[in-house]
């Protein structure tokens, strides 16, 4: 797995992305504990720092201001040692990430997870379709060098545990490109 060539950074930056319900926050939280990397949940950052352009009643979420989010994260990303947890990836600068992890979940498992969260109607069906058509994997492959993009199954706790172990090993072996 490749490293980006940032001069200042002493620890890697990882993007964990995927359709809502694929286990981004569960995986990122566990990975942060095992690696001591900083876990940044973008949706929480947007809310806390007011990095949005209002509320979308139809999608029941904030309309994030991508420029403000990138401005807010710039110094932290240059420093390194971050896990960014977000369901999109195409607006983050390519230079920020050493690894891009796209979590994928079986549609039946995903349907159950999202239903338990209260997703209904078009919000539920749009997210299931996004997963069926692998929209986020395609977005990651179009936005970042293919050698840093990895798709991981995230259906069960065993798979999540394996993913965290694998990513922890990768972080341990990472070294800044010189």
Which residues are documented as binding site for ATP?
21, 23-26, 117
Estimate to the nearest angstrom the gap between the alpha carbon of 8 and the chain centroid: 23
148: tokens are: 């840093």
Question: Residues at the annotated binding site?
Answer: 21, 23-26, 117
The contacts of residue 7 (CB under 8 Å, 6+ apart) are none
| 45 C-beta neighbours (distance < 10 Å), count | 18
Q: Enter the tokens of residue 53.
A: 């352009």
109, 155 Cβ separation under 8 angstroms: yes
The residues facing 62 across adjacent strands are: 55
Query: How is 111-159 classified by DSSP, letter by letter?
Result: HHHHHHTT--HHHHHHHHHHHHTTHHHHHHHHHS-GGGEEEEE-SSHHH
CA separation for the pair 54, 123 (Å, rounded): 18
101: β partners: 16, 150
């Amino acid at each position: 797995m490749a490293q980006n060539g940032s001069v200042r950074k002493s620890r890697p930056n990882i993007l964990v992305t995927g359709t809502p319900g694929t286990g981004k926050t569960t995986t990122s939280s566990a990975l942060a504990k095992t690696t001591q990397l900083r876990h940044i949940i973008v949706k929480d950052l947007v809310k806390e720092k007011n990095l949005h352009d209002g509320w979308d009643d139809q999608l029941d979420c904030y309309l994030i201001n991508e420029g403000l989010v990138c401005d807010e994260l710039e110094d932290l990303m240059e420093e390194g040692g971050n896990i960014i947890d977000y369901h999109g990836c195409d607006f983050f600068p390519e230079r920020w990430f050493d690894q891009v992890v796209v979590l994928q979940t079986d549609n039946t498992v995903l349907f159950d997870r999202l239903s338990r969260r209260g997703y209904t109607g078009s919000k539920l069906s749009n997210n299931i379709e996004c997963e069926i058509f692998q929209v986020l994997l395609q977005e990651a492959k179009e936005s970042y060098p293919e050698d840093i993009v990895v798709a991981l199954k995230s259906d069960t706790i065993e798979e999540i545990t394996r993913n965290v172990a694998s990513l922890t090993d990768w972080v341990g072996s990472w070294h800044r490109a010189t």
